[in-house]
Amino acid sequence: MNEWLEKFGWRENPFNFKIYSDLLVGYKKELTKLNQAIEAENKFSVLVGETGAGKTTMLKWITTHCANNGSVSNVTYMPKPPKNEENFLQFLRDELLNPGFFKKLFNSYSLYNIHHELEKEMNEHSLLVIDEGHEASVEVLEWVRTVIDHVDNLTVITAGLPEFEETLSNEVHTLYNRSTNIVKLQSLNKDETFSLVRKRIEKVGGQSLEPFTQSAILKIYDYTEGFPREILRACNSCLIHASQNDFSFIEESDVVEILDEEEFIEKNEEGKDNDDSEEEEKQVGHTDLELTPKQEKVVDQLEEHGALTSGEIADIIDTDNYSSRSHAVRSINNILKRLRDNGIVEREREGRSYKYFLESS
């Protein structure tokens, strides 16, 4: 593959999952909200979005930006929340206080008194950024609330999957009430999708979209619905296929062939965890109205509730058979595509997402 990449002047594959915070694309309103919260020294903000929506990229952009422009004196990025109260105490002591060896050895810090030291140490505006907030226990989140209450100069931003907002609202309401912003990432539009692909290619030495044609990127946008990580995954699949076949260009027809095949494989892999996969496989390519059990569930919800996004459908139906909500959403997107192909479901763009509805509705 490397020899093929060199034809386009690329140093490496630009569509791996490396996070380049300097290539942040789209989400201008969402980023403005978070920057305004930091500038106002608000105590707590929440960033939510599906897997692959760009939460980590945005958090890393914020930490780099704040550290470089001097708007915040101290910036700390936590890639995952602490597992328990003991880990949280250790993090506060070692990362935020950073005491010397002897002070660490002879001082008895606890979660009940460490905020006194933090208040003295953080005499200027400080920012703590916590990624993967949905993995935090309720107990740890309660201690986050305690710390931001007692440390005046501390701003906390945490990101998580969409269900994280529900967890905060239902189980840590005291912390949820302190949030000045609930910022939601959905997906990129067409122009932003083009910009993401172009910036990635130029990052590794390429020019514009080459070897992708504009129609190929538009087709990738249709398949991925603008989710950044899915865009990268689709582009990467196309590159692998193109390099193996020594393509000079990647056309729209190539994208359709490659991603349709990949979707079929993904459907079969998913079927290993779900008993009705064999029925779904039989449905592929047919235009009759005989529905599989999963398809019936989706159609029933559209019939009952009207137009819904794939995420809203995932929130309604039973997703216990899936390893995660994002996995369920991806499966539902596949089902919706089959239903669209069979003329049962249509969709319309609404903001940054698609609403699906029955053709007759």
Better pLDDT: 342 or 262:
342
Does domain 278-361 fall under CATH 1.10.10.10? My reply is: yes
Residue 102 pLDDT > 50: no
Kindly tell me if the per-residue pLDDT of 93 is higher than 70: yes
pLDDT band at 279 (very low <50, low <70, confident <90, very high): very low
Query: Could you read off the pLDDT of 20-39 as tens digits, one per residue?
Result: 888 888 889 999 999 999 99
Top CATH class, 27-185: alpha beta
Cβ atoms within 10 Å, residue 237: 17
Residues 6+ apart with CB under 8 A from 7: none
Least confident span in 170-179, 191-200, 320-329, 347-356? 320-329
Strands 154-160 and 126-130: parallel
- Report the pLDDT value the prediction gives residue 353, as an integer from 0 to 100: 67
* pLDDT score at 262: 64
Q: Which amino acid is at 239?
A: L
Distances (CA, A) of 114 to 72, 94, 100, 146: 22, 11, 15, 11
pLDDT of residue 282 exceeding 70: no
The pLDDT assigned to 286 comes to: 39
The confidence band for 322, taking pLDDT boundaries of 50, 70 and 90, is: low
| Poorest-pLDDT segment among 71-75, 321-325, 334-338 | 321-325
Is residue 280 scored above 90 in pLDDT?
no
Predicted confidence (pLDDT) at residue 228 exceeds the cutoff of 80: yes
Which of 58-62, 320-324, 354-358 holds the top average pLDDT? 58-62
First-residue to last-residue Cα distance in the chain: 48
> Region 97-104: what's the mean pLDDT?
56
Averaged over 170-187, what is the pLDDT? 89
- Average pLDDT on 27-54 reads 90
Tell me the C-alpha to C-alpha distance, in Å, between residue 307 and each of 184, 300, 333, 355.
20, 12, 14, 6
Residues in the chain: 361
* Residues 6 or more apart in contact with residue 159 via CB below 8 angstroms: 46, 47, 48, 49, 55, 56, 58, 59, 130, 131, 132, 133
Phi, psi angles (nearest 5°) of residue 74: -130, 130
The Cα 342–Cα 139 span in angstroms is 48
Confidence (pTM): 0.68
Asked which of 26-30, 208-212, 237-241, 272-276 is least confident by mean pLDDT, the reply is 272-276
Mean pLDDT computed over 138-142 = 93
Question: How far, in Å, CA of 25 to CA of 41, rounded?
Answer: 25
- Give the integer Cα–Cα distance in Å for 271 and 278: 7
Tell me the pLDDT tens digit for each residue of 296-319: 888 999 999 999 988 888 888 866
Residue 14 pLDDT class (50, 70, 90 cuts) = very high
Please determine whether the domains at 27-185 and 278-361 fall in the same fold group of CATH: no
Question: Can you give the residue ranges of every domain in the chain?
Answer: 1-13+188-272, 27-185, 278-361
Whether pLDDT at 361 is above 90: no
pLDDT of residue 325: 65
User: What beta strand segments (E) does the chain contain?
Assistant: 44-49, 74-78, 126-130, 154-160, 179-185, 345-350, 353-358
Instruction: Report the chain's mean pLDDT, rounded to a whole number.
Output: 83
Return the higher-pLDDT residue of 267 and 140: 140
